[in-house]
Structure 1
């Protein structure tokens, strides 16, 4: 994923923290864009309306299903400052943010009230009891790493609707700072709010300027959404050439979109013009893209691996160069290490592949049931034996 702050995924399939579109993920109910003739009204969409909840507007009420930690907050009282952060038990970035929230809560104790609200949970049954069964053990496990008030949004998702959806925020973790006047002073990623919170507490934060900044950011995002639409349509129709053309048009209009679209463009090129795909990969390598964002290299390697049966002349040496620029061997992500080992083996460096694959398995085994499956570990062990056999 990009280093977004409460930003949505740009396109659908995530491999290594970056968004990758895959036509195979398109719902069967979605009709090919090429078969649809839009009406005049559809071809000229209405101007998007600003979110109902924005910086400078009154904060919604707290309508949680249950408080699971700390003293309940029945209402947001004027004269007090609140940090309302939205998260979920299944959200890795949320888990990573929790200790920082605790650090801020301890630092600003008595000056601001911190509330973590679990939303968008995925219970086995749609009951409040099932929600509680997910969240309570998680909070208990976090212990003093999660040292602030915690509540659960109900099955009706009132908090998700009245806060997140109303603010047009589609990603978590996401924090709202509510000022002493009861109005939203700031919305963003919890890891980015330290200075803002200090200024809100000190009474020096310029809420009006922040409202203008966030509105401008929102309008830019709407432009990006418009530019993404033909990319999505082309991918849904599996028209990869059209997807690349739409991507290039989007990048010409908003060059900053390249950070999100690098893997999508490479994946699309692989489907219909492999020479151009590897030329693009070489350009990215020469521009230093993989040093700036290693995930682009990891994703490129996965794309090549997944399409190995259709690529006639794969340039594994180039893929390996990208991985090494991204320092793949120094990563602690077992999946990254596994794809690095596979690429090493592809270029004949089987001794090093064995070493890296052993590291991948060692790091992966403790994660079974926590993001990895036993089947994945077993598959990597089988590959390790293959690398050993080739290294003899």
Structure 2
């Protein structure tokens, strides 16, 4: 089963809305909450509030730093700029310094900054908008590697909040850092409580990367085993449901008896015959592409049979059932089901055309 089929399964059965993360650091080596913030070596400091802010490499005790990653092509990054500017102005006299880092070329960044701010009729440029804080670019990507990749973070904008002792206090979208920033500055931020939740998510993300590496290498059995381990350590019900949904998909992908069992169990959770039919039809399509075995086809035929027990006059279900029977070499049974499907007909012109066409194929085979 392709990743496209996985996504379709999720959409059809409402199991979850799950994006596979792509972590770049080993689980045990993740940069995380409470880690010492790595020194930074930024190549180009484009703005620094007219020299107010130092071009630092390491972090001074007693100061708070926001290390934020952005790019000129990133819409959410650009949308965050006014808020970041406002935060820098708000905390300018409280030893807070924003360092916003791209990994694009200096020419690319400068060309962007020369443009007028979108939606601002005053003619203000992005250079003026971001002049209150340190906007930089680091084309060799060293800081990105030390922060984003080391922490398994892939989406931008992402901000790392470095506290007064040089430790990372918070990681997230800059539009959501107002509260933690205020508490870090005030000295009443509960790092331990936040760390417990964040590190659990990081470990899940890193674990999912290992699952996807195994899956993409064709080792579905290993991927399923890794998912079993993740299910055991899932920090909440939602995460557990996501892992279980992914495991279900991988079992169906693997086929065989385990896949057939998972397929039938999933079908049993769906009361509507039409929904059962959509699952069985997916298996039929997979078989047409050589991606489903005989055991899975037989299981899908069982599902359509049960769907027909609840809705015996449904032409679409009869059509799916006939095709699955045909896959099993049961021509007479397939022909009987397809004749009934054609007799009932469908209100959908394309569906009716497909039903009639398949009936013609079966009748031709029966005469040979």
For normalisation by structure 1, the TM-score amounts to: 0.47
Greater Rg over alpha carbons, structure:
2
For normalisation by structure 2, the TM-score amounts to: 0.49
